[in-house]
């Protein structure tokens, strides 16, 4: 399996200006594009649930594939939610907040709390001295070796693919997102309770309509499919071979965006369901570029040919990369620890 291309580290002001110039023309929201995306995402999601209502009365062989499809559409709705949080999807702040809240109900995610955490992720992405909010738990080799046994076991569990993509998405969406964090403001905490009330209303309504057993099974399938793919996307876009991490004193925003975020080149159908978020390098460089402009922005400049590029096949290797080795400046797997012990 070939490694992801290495990106040449540059902090030249002319280079930074060039990147900023390349994205400048793509930061404008478009009501027409946004409206069509709402129709073909939220509308299709509602249609899938409508079809599930009839299908489950006939056969689970019809209902389950529809639930999987709805899970895929939930990812696309989450990208709309995500763009609203950045203020990029629609032109007005109020419109973004309303649209974001509605999409949050459909994805079981509190809008203002998640937006606050995600903004911190963008401001500190790939910064080793500012980890812990809105990111994947990542330890350095030295931190792992110095950690108590219980913490090392917990870290191995969280980074295990079965937990990460199996139990993790359900825990995230049904438990973590239901509880207000201690670090947020009163507004963020209130957003969690308001979202919980809205989600509860939807659950009660659909549970009564579908029948509780039918609804819970279908909803869990939808949440797991959407959540698992969402977790994978977020994971692989920051945990890949050749990724950039640095201590605060040497950390650079442009390098973190363009080297610490991958260009995940997906087949066209998967790119559609994931709302173009595979162009993650551009998104981190300029979150004001809405998802429906990301591809055109990427294709507009030769500068973007230099960013790390991942394919589906190459991205599978990311699951074996668990720790940041500061000595070599790269992500390594747990096998690296055995090599270190052998060399001592």
**284 Rama sector, left if φ>0, alpha if ψ -120 to 50, beta otherwise:** alpha
Measured CA to CA, the distance from residue 44 to residue 23 in angstroms comes to 31
pLDDT category at 188 given cuts 50, 70, 90 is confident
Measured CA to CA, the distance from residue 316 to residue 7 in angstroms comes to 20
pLDDT category at 224 given cuts 50, 70, 90 is very high
pLDDT at residue 342, rounded to an integer: 63
Please tell me which residue, 19 or 49, carries the higher pLDDT value. Answer: 49
CB burial of residue 165 (10 Å; 0-12, 13-18, 19+): middle
Say whether pLDDT at 8 is over 60.
no
Say whether pLDDT at 81 is over 80.
yes
pLDDT category at 15 given cuts 50, 70, 90 is low
* Mean pLDDT taken over the chain: 89
pLDDT category at 35 given cuts 50, 70, 90 is very high
Q: For the chain, give the percent of residues with pLDDT over 90.
A: 70
The answer to whether 61 and 52 are in contact (CB under 8 A) is no
| Residue 279, both tokens | 């162009």
Please tell me which residue, 38 or 182, carries the higher pLDDT value. Answer: 38
Other beta carbons within 10 angstroms of residue 333's beta carbon come to 15
Say whether pLDDT at 196 is over 60.
yes
Say whether pLDDT at 9 is over 50.
no
Alpha helices by DSSP H, the chain: 13-24, 31-38, 44-55, 60-85, 93-107, 111-124, 141-146, 149-159, 161-162, 168-174, 186-210, 212-236, 253-259, 268-273, 280-285, 291-299, 312-315, 335-343
- Which of the given ranges, 45-59, 126-140, 248-262, 317-331, has the highest pLDDT on average? 45-59
pLDDT at residue 341, rounded to an integer: 66
- Read off the pTM: 0.90
Hey, is 137 helix, strand or coil? coil
Long-range contacts of 39-44 (CB under 8 A, 24+ apart): 41/73, 41/76, 41/77, 41/80, 42/77, 42/80, 42/102, 42/103, 42/106, 44/73
The answer to whether 138 and 330 are in contact (CB under 8 A) is no
Render 33-71 in DSSP notation, one character per residue: HHHHHHIIIIIHHHHHHHHHHHHTTT-HHHHHHHHHHHH
Q: How do residues 97-108 score in pLDDT, each as one tens digit? A: 999 999 999 999
Measured CA to CA, the distance from residue 6 to residue 58 in angstroms comes to 52
């Amino acid at each position: 399996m070939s490694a992801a291309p290495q990106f040449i580290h540059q902090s030249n002001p002319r280079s930074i200006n060039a990147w900023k110039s390349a994205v400048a023309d793509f930061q404008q929201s478009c009501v027409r594009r946004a409206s069509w995306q709402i129709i073909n995402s939220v509308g299709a999601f509602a249609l899938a649930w409508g079809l599930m209502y009839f299908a489950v009365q006939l056969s689970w062989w019809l209902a389950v594939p529809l639930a999987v499809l709805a899970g895929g559409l939930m990812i696309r709705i989450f990208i709309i939610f995500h763009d609203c949080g950045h203020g990029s999807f629609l032109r007005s702040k109020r419109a973004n907040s309303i649209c974001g809240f509605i999409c949050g109900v459909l994805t079981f995610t509190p809008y203002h709390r998640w937006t606050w955490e995600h903004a911190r992720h963008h401001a500190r992405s790939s910064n080793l001295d500012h980890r812990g909010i809105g990111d994947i738990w990542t330890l350095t080799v030295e931190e792992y070796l110095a950690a108590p046994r219980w913490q090392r076991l917990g870290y191995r569990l969280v980074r295990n693919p079965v937990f990460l993509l199996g139990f993790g998405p359900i825990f995230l969406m049904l438990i973590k997102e239901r509880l207000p964090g201690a670090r947020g403001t009163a507004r963020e905490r209130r957003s969690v309770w308001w979202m919980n009330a809205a989600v509860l209303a939807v659950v009660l309504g659909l549970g009564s309509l579908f029948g509780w057993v039918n609804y819970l099974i279908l909803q869990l399938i939808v949440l797991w499919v959407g959540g698992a793919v969402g977790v994978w996307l977020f994971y692989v876009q920051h945990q890949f071979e050749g990724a950039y991490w640095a201590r605060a004193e040497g950390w650079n925003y442009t390098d973190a965006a363009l080297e610490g975020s991958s260009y995940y080149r997906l087949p066209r159908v998967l790119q559609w369901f994931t709302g173009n978020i595979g162009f993650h390098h551009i998104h981190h460089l300029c979150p004001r570029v809405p998802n429906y402009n990301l591809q055109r922005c990427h294709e507009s400049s030769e500068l973007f040919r230099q960013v790390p590029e991942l394919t589906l096949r190459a991205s599978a290797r990311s699951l074996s990369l668990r720790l940041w080795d500061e000595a070599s400046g790269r992500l390594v797997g747990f096998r690296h620890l055995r090599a270190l012990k052998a060399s001592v």
